[in-house]
A and B are shown apart, each in its own frame.
Chain A
Amino acid sequence: MATVDIRSVHKAFGPTKVIHGVDISIADEEFVVLVGPSGCGKSTLLRMIAGLEQISDGQIAIGGKVVNDVAPKDRDIAMVFQNYALYPHMTVYDNMAFSLKLRKAEKSLIDQRVRQAADILGLNPYLERYPRQLSGGQRQRVAMGRAIVRDPQVFLFDEPLSNLDAKLRVQMRTEIKALHQRLKTTSIYVTHDQVEAMTMADRIVVMHDGIVEQVGSPLELYDHPANIFVAGFIGSPAMNFYPGTLKRNGGIWVEAEDGTRLPAPGNVGGADGQKVVYGVRPEHLTLSGGSSGVQAKVDVVEPTGADTLVFSKIAGVNTCAVFSERHDFRPGQEIRLQPRLDVVHLFDAASGQHL
């Protein structure tokens, strides 16, 4: 087990720069999730840690030792690939034993390690099968078993759950987290699914266009997003944004482009007349009676059983609101929504930074 330090790492493929200076320090036994949209460089970063891509500039250190010029096999890491990358011509047992065989480990030790990993993952009945004879979830477990058997310093996961169906994904998510709590191996996990990131991570690194937007615990990112990108990326359904102008004239409010007044908290920063983006999460909108709140015109109501999602328009902007109680609005109906002022976010329109 080891720390991983990423120091101002750059990556370019020919003239195309994909990572522009990334700094992340990962503590021993930590579970860190790199999350971001496709093409943000998260997988490239992971492959650089694994040694599958050259580092164009900067340093990566594992356990305090700079590994820029260390071959993948000497970095003492194990990786779980998106397509599992199981050897199709080897049985489950041989797939898991392969790395130890290459290291010329004792047969008894190999057997003990493989059976131990199979026990942890519930793979004992399948040891003699070939990957083709397994379901997606079982293959995923074999891929993890192959990593566990190595007992490496660091686990790397490259979108390991994206080939599974929704239900299995939720189940495997829990299994991976439980596995980490048991083995405590430092883990770096790449995903584009923010729910996966929120549920599994000790710390989340949000990446976008080759830079780190914000690093923090899941709830830190949820409660205190540093900028519009993080605010919009973390949380499901996504935060509602309304462009407008900050007004400090007696009260404090944001005037949307069509003149709608959006109430703002009293302690907010920003100057009168500043162009801002007003953000509020769907779960932070409450239904209000009378004249308080903001007027909204209902488009669609989606009952999910546990929650009711109401899509409406506020100031001409599509707005999502989530209620835990049930509502039966008609399309076109006028309702009034009240944002919870303590959790409203204001962002500078030009820089996108949180005010």
Chain B
Amino acid sequence: MTTAAVSRSNGLARKPLAEILDNRNVLAFLCMLPAAALLLTFLTYPLGLGVWLGFTDTKIGRPGFFIGLENYVSLFDDSVFWLVVFNTLLYTTVATVLKFGLGLYLALLLNNHLPFKALLRAIVLLPWIVPTVLSAIAFWWIYDAQFSILSYMLEKMGLIDQYIDFLGTPNNARASLIAANVWRGIPFVAICLLAGLQTISPSLYEAAALDGATSWQRFRHVTVPMLMPILSIVLTFSVLFTFTDFQLIYAITRGGPVNSTHLMATLAFQRAIPGGQLGEGAAIATAMIPFLVAATLSSYFGLQRRKWQQGESDG
């Protein structure tokens, strides 16, 4: 009788804890704690610190004071800042359009039956695998004013009579950097879209062929709509990567000539670290946030499950 009572009271004592752990919400919260702690330490804290610094006049070696929106007010009147915003938008837009056009084309090519398919796909990934700085240095040489292999070849082919100054004039430098970014970014787009293409059932194309669709109509009415969900994810990532690009610019032009290739990320670094104005640099970096939020939101709405994706999934 006593043993029974003891074990019963033990059972009662343990019951609340076990019951709490049985609760799905509590369990989910507990399981998310480690991840949340990591995010808070390594993402939220630096982000918060950056935003805070933007409201101070901190310099390297001197703790700053809260100065409200003064940094932003001075940036508003800073023509270099607005040039850089323009550069960033131009860089992002042109590079993204090119990356998607060429990446989709490449993905469609690789989706065909080709000899050495696996090898070709591996080769396509190469530009993405090479460290950015390494490829940046390679591009720096390709674009060099005196030793450019590109100018050399074009001259030998008789297309130009004097070497092109790739990085010396603003528009040439912008175009050169965009080309380098596109070269690096295509593999990511192509491989992701290829994965998307491979999920499309071949019988859809056969049905469309029997329905009388030409190959352009099959692309337009089958491939594109079926690819849209993955396309919008890849587009978001690509826009975010391109908008925040730093390495390529800093390694090839450092923002020159005359700030014509500075992006917001490189300008923020330039002012904060070599320039010592931590507060102002942080304000420039913080100014990127609205653009990034806008890009993310637009993709969020683009990503929402389309009507045809809803419902039973036992396809």
List residues of chain A with CB under 8 Å of any chain B CB. Answer: 50-52, 71-73, 77-79, 81, 83, 85-90, 98-99, 102-103, 130-136, 146, 150
Interface centre among A71, A72, A103 (most CB of B within 10 A): A72
Query: For the complex, is B2 an interface residue (Cβ under 8 Å from A)?
Result: no
Are B313 and A132 neighbours in the complex by a CB distance under 8 Å? yes
Alpha-carbon separation in the docked complex, A126 to B256 (Å): 62
Query: For the complex, is B201 an interface residue (Cβ under 8 Å from A)?
Result: yes
A-B contact pairs, 5 of them (CB 8 A): A50-B206, A51-B210, A72-B210, A85-B204, A146-B207
Query: For the complex, is B22 an interface residue (Cβ under 8 Å from A)?
Result: no
The answer, among A73, A77, A89, A130, for a CB contact under 8 Å with B213, is A73
Are A77 and B210 neighbours in the complex by a CB distance under 8 Å? yes
**Closest residue to A47 on the B side, CB-wise?**
B206
Given A79-B207, A85-B207, A87-B204, is A102 in contact with B212 using a C-beta cutoff of 8 Å?
Answer: yes
The answer, among A79, A88, A131, A132, for a CB contact under 8 Å with B210, is A79
Given A89-B226, A102-B217, is A78 in contact with B309 using a C-beta cutoff of 8 Å?
Answer: no
Interface centre among B208, B209, B211, B226 (most CB of A within 10 A): B211
Q: Chain A residues with Cβ under 8 A from B308's Cβ?
A: 88-90, 130-132
Are A99 and B203 neighbours in the complex by a CB distance under 8 Å? no
Min Cβ gap A5→B in Å is 20
Alpha-carbon separation in the docked complex, A317 to B270 (Å): 90
Are A132 and B222 neighbours in the complex by a CB distance under 8 Å? no
Query: For the complex, is B311 an interface residue (Cβ under 8 Å from A)?
Result: yes
Interface string of B208-239 (1 = CB under 8 A from A): 11111100010001100110000000000000
Q: Chain B residues with Cβ under 8 A from A135's Cβ?
A: 312
Apart from A81-B206, A98-B211: 6 A-B pairs, beta carbons within 8 A = A52-B206, A73-B210, A86-B207, A130-B307, A133-B310, A135-B312
Min Cβ gap B101→A in Å is 22
SS of B interface (majority): helix
Contacts between the two chains (Cβ within 8 Å), count? 79
Query: For the complex, is B113 an interface residue (Cβ under 8 Å from A)?
Result: no
Query: For the complex, is B315 an interface residue (Cβ under 8 Å from A)?
Result: yes
Q: Chain B residues with Cβ under 8 A from A73's Cβ?
A: 209-213
Are A52 and B201 neighbours in the complex by a CB distance under 8 Å? no
Alpha-carbon separation in the docked complex, A26 to B291 (Å): 66
Query: For the complex, is B306 an interface residue (Cβ under 8 Å from A)?
Result: yes
The answer, among A98, A132, A146, for a CB contact under 8 Å with B221, is A98
Are B226 and A133 neighbours in the complex by a CB distance under 8 Å? no
Interface string of B278-315 (1 = CB under 8 A from A): 00000000000000000000000000001111111111
**Closest residue to A150 on the B side, CB-wise?**
B211
Q: Chain A residues with Cβ under 8 A from B315's Cβ?
A: 88, 131-132
Alpha-carbon separation in the docked complex, A72 to B315 (Å): 26
Given A88-B226, A102-B217, is A132 in contact with B206 using a C-beta cutoff of 8 Å?
Answer: no
Alpha-carbon separation in the docked complex, A54 to B305 (Å): 39
Min Cβ gap B85→A in Å is 37
Min Cβ gap B44→A in Å is 39
**Closest residue to A73 on the B side, CB-wise?**
B212
Interface centre among B203, B206, B212, B217 (most CB of A within 10 A): B212
Min Cβ gap A257→B in Å is 48
Are A83 and B310 neighbours in the complex by a CB distance under 8 Å? no
Alpha-carbon separation in the docked complex, A130 to B210 (Å): 21
**Closest residue to A136 on the B side, CB-wise?**
B314
The answer, among B203, B213, B313, for a CB contact under 8 Å with A81, is B203
Alpha-carbon separation in the docked complex, A103 to B204 (Å): 18
Alpha-carbon separation in the docked complex, A98 to B206 (Å): 14
Min Cβ gap A156→B in Å is 9
Q: Chain B residues with Cβ under 8 A from A78's Cβ?
A: 210
Q: Chain B residues with Cβ under 8 A from A83's Cβ?
A: 201, 203
Alpha-carbon separation in the docked complex, A88 to B222 (Å): 9
**Closest residue to B225 on the A side, CB-wise?**
A89
Min Cβ gap A50→B in Å is 6
The answer, among A51, A85, A103, A130, for a CB contact under 8 Å with B203, is A85
Are A50 and B210 neighbours in the complex by a CB distance under 8 Å? yes
Min Cβ gap A126→B in Å is 12
Q: Chain A residues with Cβ under 8 A from B212's Cβ?
A: 73, 99, 102-103
The answer, among B206, B217, B221, B310, for a CB contact under 8 Å with A85, is B206
Are A72 and B201 neighbours in the complex by a CB distance under 8 Å? no
Q: Chain B residues with Cβ under 8 A from A131's Cβ?
A: 308, 315
Are A132 and B312 neighbours in the complex by a CB distance under 8 Å? yes
Alpha-carbon separation in the docked complex, A201 to B315 (Å): 29
Given A89-B308, A130-B307, A133-B311, is A52 in contact with B209 using a C-beta cutoff of 8 Å?
Answer: yes
Alpha-carbon separation in the docked complex, A103 to B310 (Å): 30
Q: Chain B residues with Cβ under 8 A from A136's Cβ?
A: 314
Q: Chain A residues with Cβ under 8 A from B203's Cβ?
A: 81, 83, 85
Are A87 and B213 neighbours in the complex by a CB distance under 8 Å? no
Interface centre among A90, A98, A133, A135 (most CB of B within 10 A): A98
Q: Chain A residues with Cβ under 8 A from B204's Cβ?
A: 85, 87
Would you list the 6 A-B pairs with minimal beta carbon distance, nearest first?
A: A99-B211, A133-B311, A85-B207, A132-B311, A85-B203, A73-B212
Alpha-carbon separation in the docked complex, A353 to B292 (Å): 77
Q: Chain A residues with Cβ under 8 A from B211's Cβ?
A: 73, 98-99, 102, 146, 150
Q: Chain A residues with Cβ under 8 A from B226's Cβ?
A: 88-89
Are A132 and B209 neighbours in the complex by a CB distance under 8 Å? no
Alpha-carbon separation in the docked complex, A336 to B315 (Å): 51
Alpha-carbon separation in the docked complex, A90 to B307 (Å): 10
Min Cβ gap A272→B in Å is 56
Min Cβ gap A47→B in Å is 8
Min Cβ gap B14→A in Å is 46
Given A83-B201, A98-B221, A102-B217, is A89 in contact with B210 using a C-beta cutoff of 8 Å?
Answer: no
Alpha-carbon separation in the docked complex, A130 to B307 (Å): 8
Min Cβ gap A143→B in Å is 9
Min Cβ gap B197→A in Å is 15
Given A132-B311, A133-B311, A133-B312, is A87 in contact with B210 using a C-beta cutoff of 8 Å?
Answer: no
Are A130 and B209 neighbours in the complex by a CB distance under 8 Å? no
Q: Chain A residues with Cβ under 8 A from B307's Cβ?
A: 130
